[in-house]
Every structure is written in C-alpha cells, then in structure tokens.
Chain A
Amino acid sequence: MSIQAQPIPQRPSAEPLPPPTERFTVLGWLYKNLFNTWYNALLTVVMVMLIALAVRAVGEWALNVARWEVITANLRLFAVGQYPITALWRAWACVVVLWALAGLSLGLWSRRAYGSIALLLAFPFVLGILAQDETTRWALLGAAAAAAAGFLLGQLRQRWLRRLALAGWVAYFPLVIVLIAGLGSEAPLLPSVPTNLWGGLLLTLLLTVVGIVFSFPLGVLLALGRRSKLPILSALSVIYIEVIRGVPFVTVLFMAQLMLPLFLPGVTIDRVVRAMAGVVLFSAAYLAENVRGGLQAIPRGQYEAAYALGFKPWQTTLLIILPQALKAVIPILVGQFIALFKDTSLVVIVGLLDLMGIAKTVLAQPDFLGLQAEVYAFVALVYGVFSFLMSALSQRLEQRLNTAR
C-alpha cells in the first residue's frame, strides 16, 4: 500500500460555514429515538401495539369493571384500622404537624421549591375531594393551611426559625408516639390506645418510622464495630450482621414474635412492639453494611488529619468520619429505608393488621367479596406513592448536601 498525500479538495467559497445547529423537531425526535434502524422501527411498532392492548385492557377494567366503592367505603379502615373514632383527631394532629414542619422547612431551606410546596398543598385537596365526610375535609384543609403558614413563615429565613424547625423535626417522633399511644389508661387528656387497635397505613408508617429511628443508630454502631481494630468487637459485629443477613425476614419476625416472650418471662411485650423489635433487629444488619460501604470510602488522610489536629478518636469518628461517610451513602440508605417500608408488609404473616392485614379484613366483608384485584391494586398504589416520595426526597437531600459541587 502506498501512502500518497491526497490533495485536500478546496471548497469553492472561502466563507466559513455556520456551526451545525440541532433544532428540536417532533419528526426528528421520532426518527432519532424510535425509527433510527429497521429493527428499532419494527420494535416500536410491536411495542406500540402491545402497550395499546395493555392500556385498553387495564383502562376497560379500571373504568367499567372494577368496583372502587370497596376502597371509598373503607378509606378510614385503610388509613388507621380499628383506631377509635374518638381518638382520630390525634392521627390528624400528627398529619397537620408534619405538614406544617414540611412547609416551614421548604420555606427555610429550599430555593425555588414551588413544585414541592404545590405538591404539599395539592395532596390534601385531592384527598379532600376523594374523602366522604366533613371532618376529614376540615382536617385536610387544616393540614394544607398549616403547610402554607409554615412556608410563609419560613420565608423570613430567621435563625431562630431554623432552630425551631430542627427542634420540631427532632421532637416529631416522640410527639407522634405520645399522640398515638397516649399517656396512660387513666390520663384525662390523652388516654392510651392499646396497640391491637393500631392498624392500616398508620401502623405501616409507625413500623417504618420506628424501624428507621432505632435501626439507624444500631446499624451505625454495628458498622463501626465491624471496622473496629478490637478483634472481639469486630467478630461479634460480623457474626450478628452475617447471621441476620443470611436468614429471611419472616424468620426474624417469627423469632421476635415467638421467642421474645420466652427470652423475657414475666414481662409482657405486646405484639406490635415485638414486630417493631423484629424490624429493627433485621434492618440494622443491612444498614450496617451500607454504612460500612461509606466508611470504607473515607480516605486514610481524613483520619490522619483529624489526629494531627488533635481530635480524640471518638471526636474523629463523630465529627469527621461519620458525617462524610453517611453523606456518601444517602441514596443507598434511603433505598434501604424504602426496602424496610416495603418489608413491613410482612407483619401480616404474624397477624398484625397493617395495610396488608386491613386489605384482608376488608375482603372478608360480605358486601365486597371477590374484589381482590381492586383492593390489592389500591394497596400497591399506596405503597408505590410512599416509596416514590421517599426516593424523590432522597434526591433533593442529596442535591442539597452535595457541597463538593
């Protein structure tokens, strides 16, 4: 092969051409994304047909066949289970406070958060349209008003408001527990509501929140233990983590349900608390592995720099290593929390009436026999919405905390 310099063809005009512009056109987009090769064109046609068939079948069922009155007639049951009607205002109070806190936080920390605040306000209104009775509508209106008030207050962006919001979030969990559980059987203001009356979405969310709040510190401790240089500590952590991760969740739940009373004779622990213990013990092992991933990502230099600056080991861990390690694994942690939220559905196997359990009792009502498709589709939708909200929230959090830019 001979290499010969080819004369470069001269363009007739010396004028440089303008840079190529790619304009967005519908046809261009269609061509590029759907019909760029012959097999993609074929695939597109087949997919369109399949999707059309599926949408038609599902739409036909959802609009004409399905009897959605099973959902609307039992909304309260799905939401709170057997929780007494006289105490229902406490559940509403939790919602209103949550909305107020969310609005305040959005106003304080988020710039251009109009989409989120609109969502926060629209949610109660949409539910209010679906709801059947006046009380629910008023409560939902209250939640929306609280969110709006919080957001407007947050616009002040004062320091004390930020502290108030943080304190509010910290106090929210104990507040919810006190409101829902009550202060004692004789208490005049907040009489106890026994846990066997907790149910529906309320129980599902409580299991999730308790699971997150308690398993998170336990998981961090286990992760630190596993990475520890003390051999016995590390071995114990490894054994715990690997044993829990090696067995199915149902067996852990069963064990908590059947064995805890045997471990602690004389003490009566009620079923919901036992289930919560199972959730916490199980979730901690998985969280520990996720946190360990974050810990491993911290370069040695961070430790050395901290020691050089005179930090004590516990200060180094608490102030230097953990904040960075946890920030690095936020998406994974939230994924784990979503998994926990989904896993709480298994408490129905040990006989609790969470969202899944309520679905079963609703299906046993003589008026609504054989409506499994409607009920379980609704349950799936509720789980889906909450999981989606959690992952959306995690993405926002990730963006906010991304100081590296």
Chain B
Amino acid sequence: MALRRDVSSPLIQAFWRDERFIRAVIQLIVLGVVIWLVVAAANNVVLSLQQQGIAIGFDFLNNGAGFDIGDTLIPYTNSDTFGRALLVGLLNTLVVSVSGIVLATILGTFVGIARLSSNWLVNRTAWLFIELMRNVPLLVLLVFLYTAVFLKLPRARQAISVGPIYLSNRGVATPWGEPTDTWGAFLAVLAFAVASAVAVGAGMRWWQRRSGRPKPIFLPMVGAWLGISIVGWFALPQPPLTLSYPEIAGFNFRGGRTFTPEFMALLLGLVIYTAAFIGEVVRAGIQSVPKGQVEAARALGFGPGRTLQLIIFPQALRVIVPPLTNQYLNLTKNSTLAVAIGYPDLFGVSGTIINQTGRAVEMIAIVMAIYLSTSLFTSLLMNLYNRRVRLVER
C-alpha cells in the first residue's frame, strides 16, 4: 500500500484515510453490487425457465415458423424457419427506416425553411405543424392514420384514382417497374456510370487546381452519370424495366405494386412526425450561421449560389448533422410502433415468435442487440464525422 504524505502534516496518514484507497473501495463495492445483481438476476431467469422446462438457446430459430407474414420482401412461406421470419422482419424494418429517413429529410428541410420564411402565413403554418407533431404521441398519430384514414378508404372496386395511382382499403397501388432479362446488364452499366462520374469529378477538380480558376464540378459529374445511364438504357436490346400499371381485378389489384395500408400508415406517420423535428433541427442549423458570414462572402465576391454552397452549407451542416442523426435513429427506433398497427417489422415478428415459442428472453436479446448495434455503429460514424468537421475548422 503506497502511503501518501500530507505536506501540511508531518504524520504519516493511516491508509484507510488515503483518498485513493477510499475511492478504490467505493468502486469495488459498487462493482460488486452490480455484478451480484446481474448474476442473481441471470441465475433466477435460468432457474425459473428450468422450472418451466425451457432451456435457453437459439436452436429454435431453425424450427418451422408456421405463421404467415403479410409484407415480405424476400420469398417466405409459413413452412420457413423462425430465423427466416426474423430476417423478413428485419428487412421490413430496414425498408421503412430507409425510405422514412429519405422522405422525412426532404419534408423536414421544407418545414425548416418554411419556419424561416418572411411570409407570416407560411411561417405560422410551419409552426403549427411542428407544435401539433410535438404535442401528440406518435402512437396516436399512427393509429389515427391507420384506422381512420387508410382503412377508411373505399373498397378496391371504388378505389380513388389519382392518375395511375389507386387508393383503397387494400392499400396504395402504384405503377412499378418490372425487371426484364437485361436488368442485370443495366445494373452493370449503372455501376460503370457511377465510376465514370467519380472519375470526371476527380478530373475537374484536378483541372481546377491546375488552372487556379473555379471549374464546374458537380454538373459534369451528374452529366456523366446521367448520360452513360441513358445511353445504356437505350443501347440494350430490350429496356431493362417495363412499367406495369395496376388494374382492378376482383377485390384486389393486379400488376404494379400495392403497398399495404399498414406500410403506408407507418411510413406516412413516421415521415410527418420526424419531419417536424427535423424542421426544427434545420432551422436551428441555418440560424446558427452568423449573418456576417454571408455579408463577408458577398463582399469577397461570392455569388449567391457559391455563398450557399461554400459558406453557409458547410457551417450549418456542422450544427445540423449530429441532431439530425439522432432523429434518424429515433425514426428507426420508433418504427417498432409498427406492432400497434400490425405491420410485421422486426419487433412485430419477434412478438409473434415469442407468442409461438415462449422464448421471450432470447428474442428480446436479439431485438435489443440489433437496435443497439445500429445505434452504436451510427454514433461511431458520428464521432468520426465530428472529428472531421472539427479538423476543417482550423
């Protein structure tokens, strides 16, 4: 035991009065209590499961599921395994989250800009929308949209048609591209187009640096990508996608693609709810750039477009991106509310599996692990991003 000598007193301090000793003891006690709690709880779980004749393990995932899932992206029948059912749920969560994030970002940006509008009416409408969304639970919104909007649409025969899109209580049927034989080849063309765009971008940047004059970078990149893709589309012997239109057939639709009411309600609810929060994030970000920055840029001869692109955006993004990522994570986590309106997302499917097998511990562990790893991975990326923008600052 290292003894510390107090400068003020010549006496050697007793070791139990040493601050380091006290700290170590406190921490060991806390750690001991936590470990004891965890071990006791785990022990109890195993014991009580044993009494019910259940052993903990993940083998049951290979057993036949025996239930149907309404929305599936990959082929699935009720004779497939629980594991595959879980995969279907995971993919559904991914689809809802990714499309929700894209749409909510677009709508949220509009809301944020509207909130800054000098037009009083636009400004107040955006404010009302945000307040409405912030004061009402998402669950109420989702259930309202599902039961009072999407399920109240007329039957398929009397479907409301908006152009080629049909709205009915069977869902929303839209025209959809059907891949033909040349689809694979076209994907290769698309990959080539992306690669060329990157190459063009690098070339233009090199030219800009060599000539010392600003050169367009973004437009040539888009041009290269679009040009190659369009040429590829028509050069192939057969168009890679054929558009198939939905048509009413009996009580349902044939052709096109029908999005179920559950999916539509969940997506719409998540999008408008998150858009309100994103709107506030965007507004705060734009307002965080001091006015002097714009004036200085104009004084230095930047045009309005370049000011936005090179001065306002990079600075606003630094403020916007971290809370925006938080909102994306919230949207992903909120997609578990799908269970309330019967959309088979990851959580919904695991609920069904728990009911069928009684494997609550394992399923909750799996679901939590998936969400937790998503969150931790995202915060890792966020930290990297933050470090990068901080480097740019100096």
Contact = CB atoms under 8 A, between A and B. Distances in A.
A48 interface: yes
Given A33-B118, A251-B336, A380 B136 contact: yes
Contacts of A230: 23, 26-27
Contacts of A363: 147
Contacts of A379: 140
B272 to A, nearest CB: 13
A201 to B, nearest CB: 13
B122 A243 contact: no
B140 A250 contact: no
A370 B334 CA distance: 27
A36 interface: yes
Contacts of B125: 47, 51
Interface in A231-249: 231-233, 236, 242-243, 245-249
A258 B360 contact: yes
B44 interface: yes
A259 interface: yes
A250 B143 contact: no
A372 interface: yes
Given A34-B120, A250-B339, A251-B364, A383 B137 contact: yes
Most buried by A among B26, B117, B143, B148: B143
B211 interface: no
A43 B135 contact: no
Contact of B139 (A44, A243, A248, A345): A345
Given A44-B121, A348-B340, A380-B144, A263 B45 contact: yes
Nearest to A41: B119
Nearest to A50: B125
A265 B48 contact: yes
A356 B146 CA distance: 14
A3 interface: no
Contact of A380 (B34, B119, B141): B141
Contacts of A323: none
B368 interface: yes
A144 B45 CA distance: 51
A387 to B, nearest CB: 4
Interface string B330-364: 00011011011000000100010010000011001
A345 B143 CA distance: 11
Given A258-B360, A342-B136, A356-B140, A44 B372 contact: no
Interface residue tally of chain A, by bracket? 35 or more
Interface residues of B, number: 55
A349 B339 contact: yes
A256 to B, nearest CB: 10
Contact of A250 (B26, B27, B34, B337): B337
A342 B151 CA distance: 24
A348 B339 CA distance: 11
Nearest to A257: B360
Contacts of A246: 371-372, 374-376
A376 interface: yes
Nearest to B360: A258
A254 B371 CA distance: 15
A144 to B, nearest CB: 25
Interface in A256-282: 258-259, 261-265
A364 B376 CA distance: 42
Contacts, number: 155
B31 interface: yes
Chain B interface mostly: helix
Nearest to A342: B137
Contacts of B121: 34, 43-44, 47-48, 51
B27 A346 contact: no
A47 B129 CA distance: 14
Nearest to A262: B45
A259 B364 contact: yes
A251 B31 contact: no
Nearest to A388: B135
A265 B47 contact: yes
Interface string B36-62: 000001001101110000000000000
Contacts of A36: 118
Interface in B183-208: none
B298 interface: no
B138 interface: yes
A265 B375 CA distance: 32
Contacts of B336: 248-251
Contacts of A359: 143
A402 B375 CA distance: 36
Contacts of A388: 131, 135
Interface in A326-348: 338, 342-343, 345-346, 348
Contacts of A259: 45, 360-361, 364
A40 B371 contact: no
B152 interface: yes
Interface string B361-391: 1001001100110111000000000000000
23 contacts: A47-B119, A232-B30, A236-B30, A236-B34, A245-B375, A247-B367, A247-B368, A247-B372, A250-B336, A250-B337, A251-B364, A263-B44, A342-B135, A345-B137, A349-B337, A349-B339, A349-B340, A356-B140, A372-B151, A373-B144, A377-B148, A383-B140, A387-B136
Interface of A: 33-34, 36, 40, 43-44, 47-48, 51, 230-233, 236, 242-243, 245-251, 254-255, 258-259, 261-265, 338, 342-343, 345-346, 348-349, 356, 359, 363, 372-373, 376-377, 379-380, 383-384, 387-388, 391
